[in-house]
Amino acid sequence: MMDSAYIANVMERLDHKVTRMIGQIGEKCPHFAGKDGKYDSTGTDWWTSGFWPGLLWLMHDMTGGPQYRDAAWQWDETLERWFSGTSGNIHHDVGFQFLATAVMKHKLTGDEEGQRRGLVAANYLAARYNPAGGFIRAWNGDHYGWAIVDCMMNISLLFWASETTGDPRYRHIAIRHAETTLRHGVREDGSVKHILSFDPSSGEYLENLGGQGAAADSSWSRGTAWALHGFANTYRHSGDERFLDAAKRIAHYFVASLPDDHVPYWDFRLDGFEGEPRDSSAAAIAASGLLEIADAVPGKEKQTYLAAAHRILRSLTEQYATWDAPEHEAILRHGTGHKPQNQFVDGSLIYGDYYYAEAFAKLNGWKHRMY
């Protein structure tokens, strides 16, 4: 277990690191950094566009540093611009984009425009709900009947919208989507499926697809982490024990499947692991989710989940972080985005950086949890 001095030291290192990143990243919308340690820049419609400003708001909340607030302030306005006239491209990941930007901004500063933008995003997400199948549609194009495990994280936006407006319909949609994901997306052993396919007219469940995992029957590690964290969040918002039980089952599978250094390969069910890349982002997401579970359970059970989170975070801190490379624009190395398409493999991922910082913020007493 990490003691308070260790946690405080990591928070201090993050303060120095992220302050340096502000100058290095500048106006970029970062997603992936390869071997050169330089983050690319995506369009603001890309699903990861909220994580860099989210990291800035998190650090502002934890340290009070005005440099974080100043660098983060305009991001929710920037992200909103792609809504106008591009409704055909708006997708299910608006939770990732607006919870840590507009919603966080509103919570920390009272900014009314942040609240408005968060509610606009929640309306777009709610509009993707398919009542016949009880799921939120993923992506666009002709995938009318697809839902994905990642969306378990986005539904926190709907719970927030219900709390903010008093309208229970957002909450109903979030719970129905979680129930559908639990019914069809979580296997008995705690492993999860990435893409669920339904008949969009009847709502009948048809099949699951491999997506970013190695195969339809494999076990994509980041998808497992999304589910672990997402069901824990859903329990926090709903109080429904079914979702806490699901989070625990997935957590036990995730932890039992880890290699010796507690950071997973990109898929838990590969034919062999030699030469396969790790995914530090999956480790960071899962660690933050394990802390959510620990907050929800008592006594010795709490210590089980805390210890697992601490093991993962210590490994990331001591073996995967870039403290020794001040010129590196990211926090964590060895993340893998989409191995089946050989995209964003064995580099740094901005959401890995975000959830690593989020986990340590939770250990340091952070209360303004967006996911």
CB within 8 Å of 36: residues ≥ 6 apart: none
Say how far apart CA 310 and CA 297 lie, in whole Å.
16
Q: Which of 61, 76, 150, 346 is an active site residue? A: 150
Is residue 93 flagged as an active site residue? yes
Residue 342 has pLDDT above 70, yes or no: yes
**Of 174, 153, 173, 170, nearest to 161 (Cα)?**
170
Q: What is the CATH number of the domain that holds 317?
A: 1.50.10.10
Q: Which of 93, 267, 346, 353 is an active site residue? A: 93
When pLDDT is cut at 50, 70 and 90, the band that residue 351 belongs to is: very high
Q: Does residue 72 lie in a domain region? A: yes
Amino acid 87: pLDDT: 54
Number of domains in the chain: 1
Amino acid 102: pLDDT: 98
Q: Does residue 371 lie in a domain region? A: no
Mean pLDDT of 159-163: 98
Kindly report the pTM of this predicted structure.
0.98
Q: Does residue 109 lie in a domain region? A: yes
Q: Does residue 240 lie in a domain region? A: yes
Do residues 205 and 133 make contact, with C-beta atoms less than 8 angstroms apart?
A: yes
Domain of 84 in residue numbering reads as 4-363
Amino acid 197: pLDDT: 98
Per-residue pLDDT tens over the stretch 291-329: 999 999 999 999 999 999 999 999 999 999 999 999 999
Q: Does residue 369 lie in a domain region? A: no
**Of 355, 323, 266, 347, nearest to 33 (Cα)?**
347
Amino acid 371: pLDDT: 73
Residue 133 has pLDDT above 90, yes or no: yes
Q: Does residue 127 lie in a domain region? A: yes
Per-residue pLDDT tens over the stretch 201-248: 999 999 999 999 999 999 999 999 999 999 999 999 999 999 999 999
Q: Binding site residues, as ranges?
A: 93, 150, 222, 226
Is residue 150 flagged as an active site residue? yes
Amino acid 83: pLDDT: 75
Q: Facing residues of 332 across strands?
A: 321
Q: Does residue 256 lie in a domain region? A: yes
Q: Binding site residues for substrate, as ranges?
A: 93, 150, 222, 226
CB within 8 Å of 303: residues ≥ 6 apart: none
